[in-house]
Structure 1
């Protein structure tokens, strides 16, 4: 089978999709991906995502995260940390521990890359730009799974905004994915400002929470036209660091 996969058999993608949906086949699928990593036909992002998602659905989070780490290229490893790609480089793998952009009709999200050598400190085009389209916005817009062991943390963010009007809160949330519960909420202010630095301290308790979900979301419960989001937000960098308690 490995030889056929290395030869790019036409059913290769469908195979990993099917293996990822069957709890009994996740182990063999994982091994196939590891073996392919040593060939001239390494795993594709879609194949890795299928198996990582399968592990997450089975609440088997350790192998899911290890497979994600295995899949990183040399360039992607430089973007690692408690938050992967916290500078919002325009790299999209579709893997759950990478950024996932949800399709929302009331906003547009684009990644322009983090500030690099030679760029001006006032360059507001770097990072992730969220443009609100003067309509209601409900639920999450951007998310990734993270793995935070019990301890104390500081979430830091550098943001710019232009005419940002938020009828209901816009915030980053850190939620325990299993069991579901909110750990922290990091509110984003309204208005116009340039490269404002914000931070929030929070704690992941000793109770079992093997994996968390980091999400940019609104507090809107219903898509009422009374609550229309307007303006532009640029998130230049988002990070989580461990701090001494």
Structure 2
């Protein structure tokens, strides 16, 4: 039975019991027509949901009424505790040209009524931000972000503008983030996205690094990724060094974590495993040694998913390590490749290997030119030239990977 037929039948029954029946008809009609608020209000002029829908639709220009503020006021007269009703009234007044202290008081009252009233808190945030009141703005930001991270992109853009307009906001934001609010990672991620490479971000991360709550690996990741993507390899490397625990700095060398002695951070300048169907990667203990284990399951995999970013200065180097294969079947084989970060032409590759082997030594020498190679990628790959060459099964293990300089003039950046 259609919704219309059901309603007509209900009307017929309800009319038999006037006047109670007529009230039931009006409320039921308004309920059924809540998606068409003007029609719903023609049945029940005081239906709160229809009034709310009318005000929202009018403010979004989806429907037309004579006066959205009047509709919002009528909603409040019918249901003074309507969720977001007071906020809708405030927005309607702004749309009609109103502003000033009265509007502020309306939104403050709405926010005090419900911490979940997003309209009120968004309005209070932007009104405080545009008036230069960073303390109130950050208080509202905290409320909004704790309620939902959906608003974070807009909040991050607003924070960027606040910092540009008032240098003091930067220090206030750093203090707030140092308290480690639950939304800190989300805000930092979006700030990196909207700010690009900027001195503001560099200072903000440095202030956090020196605080009692320094950035986590997950919080550093978008900042370093943004720097690497923009080609600022040296800046990224220095920021990464500053993030490392102090006890590890003396052992960084030319190639960090080559023996897999430290937990992976998934950051640039450390190992990164990129998930891919048909293969798995892990660091495991084998024969009392830490070993990189890569397994393939018979699928076609254009494999280049174990990577490590380097920041080597111009000079001559040698990459070395050990490999053991277990039934590795592939048309071409696995190899390590070293390539400049802005080029696809390899600086060096190791020998292509397949089959089953005992532990074998790997070596490859390469030279980094004085120009045009600010960063380098070490990549484990199957250099398949066609789909059939990507089909692979078996296992490969690697240990004791390292890079040493062969000319004494070469230094880390």
- After TM superposition, is the score higher than 0.5? yes
Say whether residues 1:146 and 2:310 are aligned partners: yes
Question: Which deviates further from its counterpart, 14-23 or 4-13?
Answer: 14-23
Q: Secondary structure at the match of 1:30?
A: helix
Number of residue pairs matched by the alignment: 236
Q: Matched residues in 1 for 2:339 and 2:272: separation?
A: 16
Structure 2 runs not aligned, ≥5 long: 1-172, 409-413
**2:206 aligned to 34, 47, 53, which one?**
34
Any conservation in 2 of the 1:2–1:36 contact (CA below 8 Å)? yes
**1:11 aligned to 183, 187, 203, which one?**
183
Q: Matched residues in 1 for 2:297 and 2:248: separation?
A: 32
Any conservation in 2 of the 1:183–1:203 contact (CA below 8 Å)? yes
Q: Matched residues in 2 for 1:167 and 1:24: separation?
A: 43
Q: Matched residues in 1 for 2:212 and 2:326: separation?
A: 47
* Per-residue CA distance 1:130-161 (angstroms, 9 max, x = gap): 11112222041200210121111111011112
Question: Which deviates further from its counterpart, 32-41 or 146-155?
Answer: 32-41
Question: Which runs of structure 2 are paired with 1:39-188 in the superposition (5 Å)?
Answer: 39-74=211-246, 76-77=248-249, 80-89=252-261, 91-112=263-284, 123=287, 126-188=290-352
* Per-residue CA distance 1:163-212 (angstroms, 9 max, x = gap): 22231232111111124432111134223223211211121123321111
Change (3 A) 1:107 1:197: same
Question: Which deviates further from its counterpart, 174-183 or 151-160?
Answer: 174-183
Pairwise CA distance, 1:243: 0.6
Q: Matched residues in 2 for 1:169 and 1:75: separation?
A: 38
Structure 1 runs not aligned, ≥5 long: 116-122
Q: Secondary structure at the match of 2:224?
A: helix
Pairwise CA distance, 1:93: 1.5
Any conservation in 2 of the 1:23–1:54 contact (CA below 8 Å)? no
| Structure number with higher relative contact order (C-alpha < 8 Å, ≥ 6 residues apart) | 1
Any conservation in 2 of the 1:108–1:130 contact (CA below 8 Å)? yes
Any conservation in 1 of the 2:174–2:204 contact (CA below 8 Å)? yes
Pairwise CA distance, 1:38: 2.0
Pairwise CA distance, 1:222: 4.2
**Aligned match of 2:19:** none
Structure 1 outlier segments of 4+, above 4 Å: none
- Who wins on radius of gyration, i.e. which is larger? 2
Q: Which has the higher helix share?
A: 2
Change (3 A) 1:75 1:137: farther
**How much is the aligned-residue C-alpha RMSD, in angstroms?**
2.3
**Aligned match of 1:120:** none
Any conservation in 2 of the 1:176–1:209 contact (CA below 8 Å)? yes
TM-score of the two chains, using structure 1 as the length reference: 0.87
Q: Matched residues in 2 for 1:8 and 1:30: separation?
A: 18
**2:360 aligned to 192, 196, 207, which one?**
196
Change (3 A) 1:24 1:198: closer
Q: Matched residues in 2 for 1:76 and 1:21: separation?
A: 30
Change (3 A) 1:192 1:24: closer
Pairwise CA distance, 1:227: 4.7
Q: Secondary structure at the match of 1:183?
A: strand
